[in-house]
Chains A and B, each alone.
Chain A
Amino acid sequence: MINIVTAYPDFLDLYGEYSAAKLLERRLTDAGRNVRVTELGFGRYSDLEAADMVYFGAGTEDRILAVLSHIRLYSEQLKAFVERGGLLEASGSSMALFCRTVTDTRDGKTYEGLGLFDAEAVITPKRRYGELICSYSGRKVIGAVNSSVDFLRGSGQEALFTVLWDSSGRFQKGSGEGFRAGDSVFASEITGPLICRNPFLLDEIAEKLAGEKLPECRELWYMESLKAYDHALDVLLKEARLKEEG
Chain B
Amino acid sequence: MLDILTCKLLRAIGAKIGRGSSLPGMICRKIWPGSLKTLKLPEKVIAVTGSNGKTSTVAMICEIAEKAGLRVVCNREGSNQIEGITTLLLSSADPRTRKVDADVVILESDERFCQYTFKEVVPSHMVITNLFRDQLTRNGHREFVRGELRKGIPDSTRLILNANEPLSCAFGNGRKGTSYYGVSAPELMEEPGIIHAYDDGAYCPICGGKMEYSYRISGHVGAFSCGKCGYASPKADHEVTGTEDGKLIIDGKWEVAPQILNEAFAQNIIAAYTAAVEAIGIDPQKAAELIDGIELDNGRVVEFDLNGHPGRFMLCKHENSMAYNGAISTALRDPSEEVTVVFIVDRLSRKYVANDMSWLWDVDFNRFSDPKVKKVILSGGFAHDAAARMLVGGVQEEKLIIEPDLDRMMTAVAERSEGTIYVMTCFTDQYKFLDRLKKYGREAAK
Contact string against A for B residues 395-414, beta-carbon threshold 8 Å, 1 for contact and 0 otherwise: 00100101010000000000
- Nearest Cβ distance between residue B275 and chain A, in whole angstroms? 30
User: Of A16, A23, A66, A167, which is in contact with the most chain B CB atoms at under 10 Å from its CB?
Assistant: A16
Selected from B140, B198, B360, the residue in CB contact (under 8 A) with A129 is: B140
User: Of B358, B384, B400, which is in contact with the most chain A CB atoms at under 10 Å from its CB?
Assistant: B358
Selected from B355, B360, B400, the residue in CB contact (under 8 A) with A232 is: B355
Distance between Cα atoms of A42 and B204 in the complex (Å): 13
Measured between beta carbons, the chain B residues less than 8 angstroms from A227 are 384
Measured between beta carbons, the chain A residues less than 8 angstroms from B385 are 224, 228, 231-232
In the complex with contacts A16-B358, A131-B355, A146-B356, A220-B141 CB distance below 8 A: no
Measured between beta carbons, the chain A residues less than 8 angstroms from B139 are 127
The residue on A at minimum CB distance from B202 is A10
Measured between beta carbons, the chain B residues less than 8 angstroms from A15 are 136, 356, 358, 361
**Extra pairs beyond A146-B141, A222-B388 (12, CB < 8 Å):** A10-B199, A26-B392, A131-B356, A144-B355, A192-B357, A220-B387, A220-B397, A220-B400, A221-B392, A228-B387, A231-B404, A239-B353
Interface residue ranges of B342-371 to A (CB < 8 Å) = 353-362
A residues sitting closer than 8 Å to B (CB atoms) are 10-11, 13-19, 22-23, 26, 42-43, 60-62, 66, 125, 127, 129, 131, 144, 146, 148, 167, 191-193, 196-197, 219-222, 224-225, 227-228, 231-232, 235-236, 239
- Nearest Cβ distance between residue A195 and chain B, in whole angstroms? 11
In the complex with contacts A60-B143, A129-B138, A146-B137, A11-B356 CB distance below 8 A: no
Selected from A42, A191, A196, A235, the residue in CB contact (under 8 A) with B388 is: A196
Measured between beta carbons, the chain B residues less than 8 angstroms from A225 are 384, 388
Measured between beta carbons, the chain A residues less than 8 angstroms from B198 are 10, 13, 18
Distance between Cα atoms of A13 and B143 in the complex (Å): 13
When the two chains form their complex, are residues A19 and B361 in contact, meaning their CB atoms are under 8 A apart? yes
B residues sitting closer than 8 Å to A (CB atoms) are 136-144, 147, 198-199, 202-203, 208, 210, 353-362, 381-382, 384-385, 387-389, 391-392, 397, 400, 402, 404
When the two chains form their complex, are residues B361 and A167 in contact, meaning their CB atoms are under 8 A apart? no
A-B residue pairs, 6 tightest by C-beta? A16-B361, A221-B391, A228-B384, A16-B358, A15-B358, A227-B384
Distance between Cα atoms of A221 and B388 in the complex (Å): 5
Selected from A42, A144, A148, the residue in CB contact (under 8 A) with B356 is: A144
The residue on B at minimum CB distance from A199 is B388
In the complex with contacts A193-B361, A231-B382, A236-B355, A224-B388 CB distance below 8 A: yes
When the two chains form their complex, are residues A60 and B141 in contact, meaning their CB atoms are under 8 A apart? yes
The residue on A at minimum CB distance from B133 is A14
Distance between Cα atoms of A22 and B389 in the complex (Å): 11
The residue on A at minimum CB distance from B362 is A16
Distance between Cα atoms of A114 and B384 in the complex (Å): 38
- Nearest Cβ distance between residue B379 and chain A, in whole angstroms? 13
Measured between beta carbons, the chain A residues less than 8 angstroms from B382 are 228, 231-232
The residue on A at minimum CB distance from B205 is A62
Distance between Cα atoms of A17 and B381 in the complex (Å): 22
Measured between beta carbons, the chain A residues less than 8 angstroms from B202 are 10-11
- Nearest Cβ distance between residue B356 and chain A, in whole angstroms? 5
| Between-chain CB contacts (< 8 Å), 30 pairs | A13-B198, A14-B141, A15-B358, A16-B359, A16-B361, A17-B358, A18-B361, A19-B361, A22-B392, A26-B392, A127-B139, A131-B353, A131-B355, A144-B356, A146-B137, A146-B141, A196-B389, A197-B357, A219-B391, A220-B400, A221-B391, A221-B392, A224-B384, A224-B385, A224-B388, A228-B388, A231-B384, A232-B355, A232-B357, A232-B382
